[in-house]
Amino acid sequence: MISMTGFANREWAAADISLSVEIKGYNSRFMEMHVNAPPWISRYEPKIRELVGAVCGRGKVDIAVRIRENNMPISVSVNANAASAYMQAINGLAGELGIEEKASLSLLIGMDGVLDIEKNRDEQRYWNMLEPVLKEAINIFQEERVREGKQTQDNILNFIDKMESYLKIIQAYIPDIEKSIKDNIKARFKELVDNEIDDNRILAETAMLLIKYTISEEIFRLSSHLGEFRAEAARNERPGKKLDFLCQEINREVNTIGSKSTVLEVSRAVVEMKESLENIREQLRNVE
């Protein structure tokens, strides 16, 4: 099993650049991925999604890429037309208001569109630095999810052990359930006809009720579902959806056994099984 929750953070720095990659995983019914990265490396977002998606089958994953640049070479261009238009507008306004002050250079260069500053970035160079850091973060993220998934699997199988032990208790009470049915029928006949009891009629009624209230089939199916649960958890690395379906089937059989039982010990075992099953389903919400 692999958990959907996990966290990883890796950092790297050189003389003129530092970068970090942070990955967080949460549980979700479907695969959701969100990438938060500087816009000038957006062309590599599909590659980031591909690398992370290779280890994630289900869940919500947030990926944050942060890059800090030091002493980055830049190019500056001046829009003289924009500066001239600003100057004429400002000087015209000053004249209308009777102000002798003229537009200064420091004021003009701060106006929008006068200076165009562009950093000279080699995007391929950035990706070459980012890719190994991203892969390290992915490896850490996956190791944590696998480790947590193993712990979850052990806990879930412990609850399966409990359910199987309670199932054995229920199986041991099948003769008592059948005896209870027979005794109830005899008691009812005695109330109705006093001592004139027709044994054949009692046997016929008992057979009908045994067919209706026997739990042998439910026990067989429940045992089969528990065995399939174990097998699926062992053979499938991402069994979450299949195991969730099996939990529904297990719950159906447990409820049927509980509704048919007239033996207190069986009812208690059913309650314990339902509690174990609820714990299993809760933990499965975090498994791929």
Of 17-26, 62-71, 120-129, 234-243, the one with minimum mean pLDDT is 120-129
Given a cut of 90, whether residue 10 has pLDDT beyond it is: yes
**pLDDT > 70 in the chain, percent:** 86
pLDDT for 214 equals 75
Given a cut of 90, whether residue 244 has pLDDT beyond it is: yes
Q: Which fold has domain 6-71+121-144?
A: Ribosomal Protein S5; domain 2 (3.30.230)
Domain boundaries, the chain: 6-71+121-144, 74-119, 149-284
User: How far are the Cα atoms of 121, 170, 225, 246, 247 from residue 260, in angstroms, in the given order?
Assistant: 74, 12, 19, 21, 20
| pLDDT tier, 185 (very low <50, low <70, confident <90, very high otherwise) | low
Please state the rounded mean pLDDT for residues 93-121: 81
pTM for the model: 0.72
Q: Name the DSSP class of 44.
A: G
Q: What is the mean pLDDT of the chain?
A: 87
